[in-house]
Amino acid sequence: MPLLTSALALSCLVLTLIPQAEQLALTRQAILAGELWRLWTGHLVHFSSSQLYLDTAILLLLGTVAERELGSRFAGVLVLLGMPILAFLLLLLAPNLLEYRGASGVVMLLAGATGTVLWQRLPPVRGLLLFLVAALASKAIVDATGMDTTLTSLPSGVRVAWQAHVCGAVLGWLAACCKLRYSARAVSLARASASQGALSVTRLSSIANGQGRSPRNHQAIIDV
């Protein structure tokens, strides 16, 4: 049961349906006035029910995969820290953006991280992953040029904030790179300890899959 994903999806549904949803949207003036909760809640409220349902469906799918591939704890930290960073990046990179609502930035954050981990762990599907990246990049270009795709779930008068998608994917990629590098270091330390007979093969494989202990702990094991 992907707890983080379920909690996020439920929050999206509940927060968008309350009448005061506009008090939770990410707006520049409100952030500058000190309403910092909007850095998180802006990603959980939506402009319309169609946007809400589509974003929530994608979040449920991708979140489940992300929690499986990244681990719930890492995914949770990524979402909690990624939300405000993403919001600040939006305020910085899109100065004319008055108001932002939508979970797709968070979805792209998880997608970027999951895609990077799958790229590392599954070399045979790299072609498919490249195709997905190309499709999303094409969509970002279409959105950035303001072309009407007629598939949008946003109401009239609201544009697609493509910057959120790009920033989310890049942030996710960076986070996953850090995680993989950290795991690689852990694996190399674990291998060293395994060669000295301090670690079993099963434990080594679990560390290689990113479920191991921290390098500091392994160093401690080796020291012992």
Partner 1 sequence: MKKKIVWSTVLAFLFVTVGCASWVANNGTKQVASIVDYLYPNAKEAPQLKTGVTYLRPPVRVGIAFVPGGGWGAGLPETDKLKLLERVKAAFSKHPFIGAIEIIPTTYLQPKGGFTNLDQVARMFNVEVVALLSYDQVQFNDTNVFSVLYWTIVGAYIIHGDQYDIQTLVDASVFDVRTQKLLFRAPGTSQIKGSASMAGFSERARAARIEGYNNAVDDLIPQLQTELDSFKERIKSDATFKVENKAGYRGGGSLDWLGLVLACVLAVVSYAKRRSV
Task: State the residues that interact with partner 1 by CB under 8 A.
Answer: 19, 22, 43, 46-48, 51, 54-55, 57-58, 61-62, 64-65, 68-69, 90, 94, 96-105, 107-108, 111, 114-115, 118, 121-122, 125, 128-129, 132, 135-136, 139, 149, 151-161, 163-165
Query: In terms of CB distance, is 58 or 222 closer to partner 1?
Result: 58
SS3 assignment, position 26: strand
Angstrom distance (rounded) from CA 52 to CA 30: 22
Query: In terms of CB distance, is 59 or 189 closer to partner 1?
Result: 59
Of 125, 25, 147, give the one whose Cα is nearest residue 65.
125
C-alpha distances in Å from residue 131, one per residue of 126, 128, 147:
9, 5, 22
C-alpha of 152 from chain center: 21
C-alpha distances in Å from residue 85, one per residue of 28, 58, 79, 165:
14, 21, 10, 13
Query: In terms of CB distance, is 51 or 193 closer to partner 1?
Result: 51
Residue 67: CB minimum distance to partner 1, A: 10
Query: In terms of CB distance, is 81 or 132 closer to partner 1?
Result: 132
The tally of CA atoms less than 13 A away on the side-chain side of residue 186 is 21
Query: In terms of CB distance, is 94 or 177 closer to partner 1?
Result: 94
* 15 and 45 Cβ atoms separated by less than 8 Å: yes
* 65 and 108 Cβ atoms separated by less than 8 Å: no
Per-residue tokens: 80? 């909690």
Residue 140: CB minimum distance to partner 1, A: 10
Residue 163: CB minimum distance to partner 1, A: 8
Residue 142: CB minimum distance to partner 1, A: 10
